[in-house]
Amino acid sequence: MKKRILSTIGLWSAIALVILLGKSHGAVLLLTVLAVLAQHELYIMLERIQSQPWRKLGLTFGALMVLSAHYGSALGDQPATVVLTIAVMTLLGLLLIHDRLQQSIFPTLFGIVLIPFMLQFYVLLMVQSGLDSGYQAILLPVWVVAVSKFSDVGGLLIGSRFGRNKLSPLISPNKTWEGVFGGIVFSAVVALALGMLFQLHALAPLWMLCVFSVPIAITSIFSDLVESYVKRMAQMKDSGNIIPGIGGAFDLIDSLLFTGPVAYILFRIFVF
């Protein structure tokens, strides 16, 4: 636990430093690095269950996908979708050379979609929010990350104290329905507090931010379970060991994979 706390403090300090120095460019670069590292760890896990993803090709498309969301405005409002389309056509075109649809093409594409394609929605939140460029534009994705992560915190604290009913005993035996409720409450409190601190009422009413926090919190739990399922299949406790007390990059961003798209859809429909 001590290592986890120190790693968490160190990570958030590093994230803050990168954003302070690089603003939106630093945030995009940081997200790209995390996406590539997590995708690399996922490919290692898939190899442990007898798949053979094409790592270099998948990681290249993954990095381009996140970067394009910020720098690919010439490709339209959804530039990563264009990159994904090119990736799919490239991988399927390789069927003419390699007859490895299930062995290599599917797992390579799975890694591209699960991690970089999902994470690029955080960049879209920053780009399409209509907020001023610079630090203010970064605050909305940071808000989504904090709401998602405090769902984990609330789930752990409430679940460990009051948890009785298992949520998914086959995938993650420690998660409980009581923890889910605790995670939702913690997320709503953080959504309101950071909404006021970041002055996001200029973008959406505070009550709306609290409402949005509920599906974001629930989605973060489901997102975490997806990574737990892959780790269980690969018989791995952690996706890596680059972060003491936490594990790998995939362990770090697991609960963020689906919350970015959900938050983007909510804000896109009801706010901007």
CB 41 within 8 A of CB 250: yes
Q: E strand or H helix at 175, and its extent?
A: strand 172-176
Residue 187 pLDDT: 95
- Complete DSSP assignment for 180-194: HHHHHHHHHHHHHHH
Distance in angstroms (rounded) separating the CA atoms of residues 79 and 86: 11
What are the domain boundaries of the chain?
A: 2-270
Residue 6 pLDDT: 67
Residue 133 pLDDT: 57
- Of 267, 33, 259, residue with least CA distance to 137: 267
Collect all residues with Cβ–Cβ distance below 8 Å to 131 and sequence separation of at least 6. 137, 139, 140, 202, 203
pTM attached to this predicted model? 0.92
Which residues of the chain carry a pLDDT beneath 70? 1-8, 11-12, 130-135
Distance in angstroms (rounded) separating the CA atoms of residues 257 and 116: 9
Residue 222 pLDDT: 92
Residue 183 pLDDT: 92
Residue 7 pLDDT: 62
Residue 16 pLDDT: 76
